[in-house]
């Protein structure tokens, strides 16, 4: 090819050289089919390839409900808005209307998620569960070993919360197998009511043995205690305690593990009308051991 200052002496020949150079440089532009576009094959100048454009390329991203972000060009970011609505551990996302929602923070330990249409806008809330419906509530359960009496162990178990109580000795025995198992009522002071117990206890052996108790210093439930390996369980209901000055009454049964005889008993405290708030267990002689539970019976 002649330079701009060359004297052109053979124009046809020069054009032929020029044409051959153009043909060589732009050879990649030859070919292709309808709809194809040029794509760079490498970084070299004029290095192209005809390629077919991909059909259906995304030309825009629009954020719908629950999504934020989007766009029509460049790198597009979309974010799950429900996820970012959660800001702390335990949060839950609650619907607040048609296509709307909000963050409901966690409640406190042991609360449960409860439907409540009066709460706006969530209609649900964290709430403490209602006390399980039960007719009987454990007030206290105590274990004692080789004591002269249980003294203050069962003080305060009778209150105005309940009207009647169930006393259950899961296990009970004494050091002197031939001694009565007894109880006495307790009241504020604290003090022990040591007179005025009336009632009877019946032991069923080969024949029934009836034991009357009149103005006794305590109430005897059994005429013999059990032993370590043959304890004497008993239970009784007691009422008219823990709510004003009254004369309590009780009835129950027992099973002497030592001599294998059942007992039935009933009695009342007629010596003094008081607000009795507890009771103690003892034996006529020797120490007592066992586990006793007191339950309150629901009024409604």
Partner 1 sequence: MTTKTEMIEQLKAEYPTLKNGDDERGYQDLSAADYQATIEKWADAKLKREAAAEQAAIDKAALLAKLGMSQDDLKTLLS
Shortest Cβ distance from residue 172 to partner 1 (Å)?
13
Among 146, 188, 245, 272, binds partner 1 (CB under 8 A): 146
Residues 227-286 that bind partner 1 (CB under 8 A): 284-286
Residues 172-231 that bind partner 1 (CB under 8 A): 175-176, 178-180, 206-207
Q: Which is nearer to partner 1, 48 or 234 (CB)?
A: 234
Residue with tokens 């619907």, as numbered in its chain: 95
Neighbours of 274 (CB within 10 A): 20
Shortest Cβ distance from residue 285 to partner 1 (Å)?
4
Residue burial 12-51, b: 16+ Cβ < 10 Å; e: rest = eeeeeeeeeeeeeeeebeeeeeeeeeeeeeeeeeeebeee
Q: Is the dihedral of CA 280, 159, 193, 195 positive or negative?
A: negative
Residues 69-98 that bind partner 1 (CB under 8 A): none
Q: Which is nearer to partner 1, 254 or 282 (CB)?
A: 282
Shortest Cβ distance from residue 135 to partner 1 (Å)?
26
Q: Which is nearer to partner 1, 11 or 207 (CB)?
A: 207
Shortest Cβ distance from residue 282 to partner 1 (Å)?
10
Round to whole Å and give the CA distance between 28 and 30.
5
Round to whole Å and give the CA distance between 262 and 265.
10
Q: Which is nearer to partner 1, 5 or 206 (CB)?
A: 206
Largest CA distance in the chain: 156
Residue with tokens 């409640």, as numbered in its chain: 107
Shortest Cβ distance from residue 237 to partner 1 (Å)?
23
Number of H helices, E strands in the chain: 2, 21
Among 149, 164, 192, 213, binds partner 1 (CB under 8 A): 149
All residues at 6 or more sequence positions from 186 whose CB lies less than 8 Å from its CB, including other chains: 152, 154, 155, 192, 193, 276, 277, 278, 279, 280
Q: Which is nearer to partner 1, 180 or 203 (CB)?
A: 180
Give the x-and-dash track for 28-67 against partner 1 (CB under 8 A).
Answer: ----------------------------------------
Which positions touch partner 1 (CB under 8 A)?
A: 142-153, 175-176, 178-180, 206-207, 284-287
């Amino acid at each position: 090819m002649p330079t701009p200052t060359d004297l052109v002496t053979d124009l046809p020949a020069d054009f032929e050289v020029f044409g051959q150079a153009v043909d060589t440089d732009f050879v990649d532009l030859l070919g292709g089919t309808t709809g194809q576009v040029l794509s760079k094959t490498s970084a070299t100048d004029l290095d192209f390839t005809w390629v077919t454009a991909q059909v259906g390329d995304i030309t825009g991203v629009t954020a719908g409900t629950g999504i934020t972000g989007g766009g029509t060009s460049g790198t597009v970011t979309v974010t799950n808005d429900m996820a970012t609505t959660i800001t702390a551990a335990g949060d839950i996302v609650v619907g607040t209307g048609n296509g709307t929602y909000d963050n409901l923070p966690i409640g406190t330990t042991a609360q449960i998620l409860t439907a409540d249409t009066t709460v706006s806008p969530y209609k649900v809330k964290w709430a403490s569960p209602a006390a399980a419906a039960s007719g009987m509530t454990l007030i206290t359960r105590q274990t004692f070993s080789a004591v002269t009496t249980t003294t203050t162990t069962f003080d305060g178990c009778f209150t105005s919360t309940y009207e009647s109580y169930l006393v259950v000795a899961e296990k009970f025995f004494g050091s002197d197998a031939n001694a009565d198992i007894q109880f006495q009522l307790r009241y504020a002071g604290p003090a022990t009511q040591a007179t005025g117990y009336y009632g009877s206890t019946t032991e069923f052996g080969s024949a029934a043995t009836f034991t009357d108790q009149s103005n006794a210093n305590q109430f005897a439930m059994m005429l013999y205690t059990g032993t370590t390996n043959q304890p004497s369980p008993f239970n009784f209901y007691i009422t008219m305690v823990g709510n004003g000055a009254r004369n309590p009454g009780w009835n129950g049964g027992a099973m002497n593990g030592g001599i294998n005889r059942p007992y039935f008993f009933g009695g009342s405290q007629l010596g003094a009308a008081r607000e009795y708030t507890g009771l103690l267990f003892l034996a006529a002689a020797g120490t007592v051991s066992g586990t006793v539970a007191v339950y309150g019976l629901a009024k409604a």
